Amino acid sequence: MSDQSLNIPQLVVVLVLGFLAVRWYLARPATSATPHAPGVRRSPGHRVNPALVEQVAQMFPQLSRRDIMWNLSRNGGSVAAVTERHLSGRGLETPPLSFQSDLPPTPSSSRPATTAQPPKQHPDLITRYNLASKISQPPSEPAPEKQKPQWSQSKAERQLDLQRRREEMILNARRKMEEKDRLRKAAESAS
Amino acid sequence: MSKSKLPTALIRLQREYRELTLDPPDGITAGPVSEDNFYLWEVLIQGPEGTPFEGGIFPAEMRFPKDYPLAPPTMTFLGEMWHPNIYENGKVCISILHPPGADPNGYEKASERWSPVQTVGMILLSVMSMLAAPNDESPANVNAAKMWRDDREAYEKKVREGVRRSLGLDA
């Protein structure tokens, strides 16, 4: 019994010391172990050019600007390297919690990949796939020769074909929904 | 160079892309975002008829691991989704995407989970039927699950409004 009552204060002291040691250890790398970006956290002189961040964010709206900024600051501001890293599937380096991006708030049109976000931030499909100009066009009638799926030998052609099929699917859905609206309105005014 | 050795995952993904292009399942368009990276696909799924998702087109991203098809891909919807089995960040939670070894929730049959004989097409068809029939045993979106269970009308209304918004129409 007496052993135990002696041990509790000791235990507390050990815990407190341990906690402080861990804190001290974790706090160090943030200030000293980032040789490429010594002052990224605060000093405006070493800040990553927001235009570069924006450039990457435009290409990959699913990436968070904070991640992009951290990765840019780590590789000396190379957009190509960040792009390459993302496309290779390795994913971007996660910034340490202490990293503050000092970025202006993201424009509402883009879709930051941060966790909770109101649904309003999702661009609709027309915006996402840049179809605004094609909505008003009459549907490209699937001419008599109904397009049979083809596998082109050319990579570029395959890419275009996939894009065309995506756009068609979205535009068809949109037209159908508009048609439904028209019918419903007609029915409403008739009754 | 006589025998160029592509990774198994790449060969398999190229074959699946070809098959999905030549014989696409109804209501599905799928392929790599760019053929420079076969491990990242963008797919479109049409909302199943007779459900509140009807009329909608839902874009999603699929990421394949380097050891595909041993390990399953992940799938994340890119737009607004209100569904018990889809996390608020869009990530899909469905048994076919879970490796057979790991059953975090202890309710899935091994036969329903991922195995290398499953394909992208099968995943997408499963996700389509998941849209039609949510599984509320292990909801990914607790609020959506609750609404689906307790107030079906409100749930369907919310989904339908999301569909209209996603097509750029007034909800």
Question: What confidence tens digit (pLDDT) does each residue in A34-50 have?
Answer: 444 444 444 444 577 88
Number of structural domains found in chain B:
1
State residue B83 phi and psi, 5-degree precision.
Answer: -160, 140
Q: Examine the pLDDT at B27 and tell me if it is beyond 50.
A: yes
Which residues are CB-neighbours of B77 under 8 A, at least 6 positions away?
B58, B59, B60, B86, B90, B91, B92
pLDDT value at residue A139: 65
pLDDT value at residue A11: 84
CA distances from A18 to A21, A30, A31, A97, A167 (A): 5, 19, 21, 21, 59
As a whole number of angstroms, the distance between CA A66 and CA A114 comes to: 9
pLDDT band at A110 (very low <50, low <70, confident <90, very high): very low
pLDDT value at residue A42: 45
**How many Å separate Cα A75 from the centre of its chain?**
19
Alpha helices in chain B (DSSP H): 8-22, 120-132, 142-150, 152-166
Q: What percent of chain A has pLDDT over 90?
A: 15
ipTM of the shown complex: 0.88
Strands across the sheet with B57-63, in order?
Answer: B28-34, B37-46, B57-63, B74-77
State residue B85 phi and psi, 5-degree precision.
Answer: -105, 15
Which residues are CB-neighbours of A155 under 8 A, at least 6 positions away?
B35
Identify the CATH number of the domain in which residue B158 sits: 3.10.110.10
Nearest CA-CA partner of A176 in B70, B57, B86, B111: B57
pLDDT value at residue A141: 58
Q: How far is A124 from chain B (nearest CA, A)?
A: 4
Examine residue B171 and state whether it is found in any structural domain, yes or no: no
pLDDT value at residue B103: 59
Catalytic residue among B20, B93, B97, B127: B93
In the stretch 119-138 of chain A, residues with CB closer than 8 A to chain B read 119, 122, 124-128, 135
Q: Examine the pLDDT at A2 and tell me if it is beyond 60.
A: no
Single-letter amino acid, residue B86? I
Q: Please tell me whether residue B34 adopts helix, strand or coil conformation.
A: strand
Question: First and final CA of chain B: distance in angstroms?
Answer: 57
Largest CA distance in chain B: 63
State residue A69 phi and psi, 5-degree precision.
Answer: -60, -45
Mean pLDDT of A135-156: 71
Selected residue with higher pLDDT from A98 and B9:
B9
pLDDT tens profile B105-148: 666 666 778 999 999 999 999 999 999 999 988 899 999 999 99
Beta bridge partners of B86: B92
Selected residue with higher pLDDT from A94 and B121:
B121
The residue to which tokens 């309710």 are assigned = B107
pLDDT band at B10 (very low <50, low <70, confident <90, very high): very high
pLDDT value at residue A69: 86
Q: Examine the pLDDT at A115 and tell me if it is beyond 90.
A: no
Single-letter amino acid, residue A170? I
pLDDT value at residue A119: 47
Provide the domain limits for residue B126. Answer: 2-166
- What average pLDDT is seen over chain B? 91
Q: Examine the pLDDT at B40 and tell me if it is beyond 70.
A: yes
Based on the residue annotation, tell me whether B171 is a catalytic residue of this protein: no
Q: How many CB pairs below 8 Å do chains A and B form together?
A: 88
Closest chain A residue by Cα to residue B33: A159
Mutate to test the interface with B, among A64, A166, A181 (most CBs of B within 10 A): A166
Q: Please tell me whether residue B125 adopts helix, strand or coil conformation.
A: helix
Q: Examine the pLDDT at A3 and tell me if it is beyond 60.
A: no
Selected residue with higher pLDDT from A120 and B49:
B49
pLDDT value at residue A57: 85
Buried b (16+ CB within 10 A) or exposed e, A140-178: eeeeeeeeeeeeeeeeeebbebbeebbbbbbbebbeebe
Q: How far is A25 from chain B (nearest CA, A)?
A: 34
As a whole number of angstroms, the distance between CA B65 and CA B162 comes to: 31
* Cis bond upstream, residue B69 (ω within 30): yes
Q: Examine the pLDDT at A70 and tell me if it is beyond 90.
A: no
pLDDT tens profile B68-87: 999 999 999 999 999 999 99
pLDDT value at residue A190: 82
Mean pLDDT of A95-102: 73
Q: How far is B115 from chain A (nearest CA, A)?
A: 22
As a whole number of angstroms, the distance between CA B113 and CA B139 comes to: 17
pTM of the full predicted structure?
0.64
